[in-house]
Amino acid sequence: MAVSYSVEPHPVTGRSTRIMLRFVEVGPAGGSVRVVAEPGLSLLTVPAQRALPSGESMWAVDVQPLADGLAYIDVFTTQGNATSAVSIPVQTGTGAQKLPVSPHLKTGPQGETLLIKPVP
């Protein structure tokens, strides 16, 4: 299963921001997705977990930045016995701090920056 995303441009502290998640290549048995907001973001979408049908689907997730800076929403997908994770950066404020330099940063298929984290 592959996950791609887009974040509304120019997130603002205290206002809802929409993140569109796209899931492709979901197997015949389907899968599931769970989203978790890290500190600095409040998850407004309830429930935070849902089943994914076979094929391709999209899900709009709304978060609210609680302060200026960089925060992440973590997306965990499960298909069969395999679980994957993607961390999506949400940057707010005019004094935008840059993404940290990390060997875990990768560039996604649409040019987005991905921070790769181990699944606990």
pTM given for the model: 0.76
Q: Between the CA of residue 24 and those of 9, 55, 76, 77, what are the distances in Å?
A: 23, 6, 14, 11
Measure the CA–CA gap between 114 and 17, rounded to whole angstroms: 19
Six-digit token string for 63: 């978060």
Please give the share of the chain, as a percent, with pLDDT higher than 70. Answer: 78
Provide the CATH topology of domain 2-92: Immunoglobulin-like (2.60.40)
Measure the CA–CA gap between 76 and 33, rounded to whole angstroms: 6
Q: Are 84 and 3 in contact (CB under 8 A)?
A: yes
Helix (H, G, I), strand (E, B) or coil at 22: strand
pLDDT of residue 9: 84
Q: Letter for the amino acid at 52?
A: L
pLDDT, tens digit, 9 for 90 and up, residues 57-108: 999 999 999 999 999 999 999 999 999 999 999 999 865 444 444 455 666 7
pLDDT of residue 117: 66
Provide the pairing of β-strand 55-65 with 49-52.
unpaired
Domain spans of the chain?
2-92
Q: Please indicate whether residue 52 or residue 93 has the higher confidence score (pLDDT).
A: 52
